[in-house]
Every structure is written in structure tokens, then in C-alpha cells.
Amino acid sequence: MNIRCIAIDDEPLAVKKIAGYIQKVPFLELVAECRSASEAMSIIDKNDVQLLFIDINMPDISGMEFVKSLTNKPYIVFTTAYSEYAVEGFQVDAIDYLLKPITFSNFLKAANKVKNLIELSTNNQKESVNHLFVKSEYKLIRIELDDIKYIESQHEYIKIHLVNSIPVLTQLSLKSIEEQLPSDRFMRVHRSYIVNLAKVSVIERNRIVFDGKIYIPVSEQYKEKFQEYIDGNFI
């Protein structure tokens, strides 16, 4: 997951510092460095921006007024030398309020807050989805999540194995479909397999057994996470 960011500050050294911090964090992506709110607005109009690191005191329009003017607000982290704006900052739903000089550790804490909120929102959206559509042989096929037993990677395709139907082959990566599935119901157990945890009934020697004859290995990379699931449901 990459969070697309803009650094906004009228002070050249300050905006460079925040931009440098953004580039040091693996899950942040720097879209632009802006020296004014008006410059930032033109970037936001043309790009999908999820997070603003924005100074409050700027010459044309303050960071606070700029944030209040936005209809669809990205996540906001204020960066300023003045602590008296903190209450007003949180009144506009800012995620954090960083006082200059800003250390990388404090910056990272703020970035992680945003990351956690985005992940929580994404998971909640996934949990409300009970089906998905996939393209197969020039048709769109609706697949109920409850009907999936496991998903198998086959080079540039995946094969979705279903409970009472023939498998569906579609041109997707395992990673792309994994991102669409609720993580509390589906788990990657091997670089080539995702399983529906509700359909796992037999486990034998680090292999999941389906229909008494299909053996899906649990690889070393995913073994610990799968074992945590088993331990959490062990009687």
C-alpha cells in the first residue's frame, strides 16, 4: 500500500525536510512539494492525493483556511512552529499536529497513524462485501465469497475453486485478488494459494486437505500466521 502525499510549506528548507521524510518511509509516495496552498490545490485537482503534510502559516491562504475550504479532504497532518493552533487543528479532523523542528520519529508516528486508519477503513469495506465479479472467457461471472474453497495461481492467471461448481479461470494475479478479499476470511498460505478459512476442515503435515484428495501446502513464509489462526480456534 502506497499513501500518496503532498508536502506544503512556504519555507524552502521546511518543505524539503518533509519531502525527504516522506521519501524515507516505504509506504508513503511523494506526489509534489508545494510552496503555497494555491499550488497544492492545482495538484490535488489533477491527482489522487490521500495525505497532506501542511504548514499553517503561509502568505496567500493559511493552511488552516485551505483545509477548511476542501470539499473532499485528504488525511491532514499539520506542521507548524506554533502550538496555539493545535485545538483548531483537531477541530478540522487533523490526524496529527507536528511542532517544528520536526524529528523523523515524530513524523513516522504521524504517518503510521494515517496508515492504520486507511487499513482499518479498507478492511471494514472488505468485510461488507459478500461477492465479487471476475472476467472469464469474455463474460463477467459473479462469485459468492462463501462458495470459494481456495484460489490457485497459474502463471498470469488464477483458478478459483468453488464448492459446487467448476473452477473459474481469470487473468488476475494472486496478489490483486488477495487485496480484494477480507483478511479475516481468506488467507495466503503459499505463494500459489489462498484458502477460504471457513472451508478448512482437515490439516495433515502442514498441508490443507480438500475433498480428501487435494493437498495444499502451507509454506514456511506463511506458516506462522496460519498457525496463529489454528491456535486461536483450537479446542
Q: How confident is the model over 179-207, as pLDDT tens digits?
A: 888 888 999 999 999 999 999 999 998 99
**65 and 146 share a domain?**
no
Q: Which of 104, 127, 150 is the last residue of a domain?
A: 127
Q: What average pLDDT does the chain have?
A: 89
Show the domain range for 185. Answer: 131-232
* From 82-96, 110-124, 203-217, the region with the lowest mean pLDDT: 82-96
Residue 81 pLDDT exceeds 70: yes
Statement to judge: residues 218 and 135 lie in one domain:
yes
State whether 106 and 139 are in the same domain: no
CATH code: domain of residue 140: 2.40.50.1020
How many beta carbons lie within 10 A of that of residue 101, not counting itself? 9
Number of separate domains in the chain: 2
Same domain, 108 and 145: no
- The pTM is what? 0.56
Query: Are 118 and 140 part of one and the same domain?
Result: no
pLDDT at 44 over 60: yes
Query: Would strands 28-34 and 51-55 be described as parallel, antiparallel, or unpaired?
Result: unpaired
Q: What are phi and psi of 39, to 5 degrees?
A: -65, -40
Query: What pLDDT, on a 0 to 100 scale, did the predictor assign at position 127?
Result: 65
Name 100's Cβ contacts closer than 8 Å, sequence gap at least 6: 14, 79, 80, 81
Residues 152 and 185 in one domain: yes
**Same-domain pairing of 30 and 88:** yes
**Can you tell me the distance from the alpha carbon of 172 to that of 194, in angstroms, rounded to the nearest whole number?**
13
End-to-end CA separation in angstroms for the chain: 36
What are the CA-CA distances from residue 179 to residues 35, 175, 186, 192 (Å)? 36, 6, 10, 15
Per-residue pLDDT for 90 more than 80? no
Tell whether 12 and 110 lie within a shared domain: yes
* 43: CATH: 3.40.50.2300
Q: Cis omega (within 30 of 0) on the bond before 59?
A: no
The confidence score (pLDDT) of residue 159 equals 96
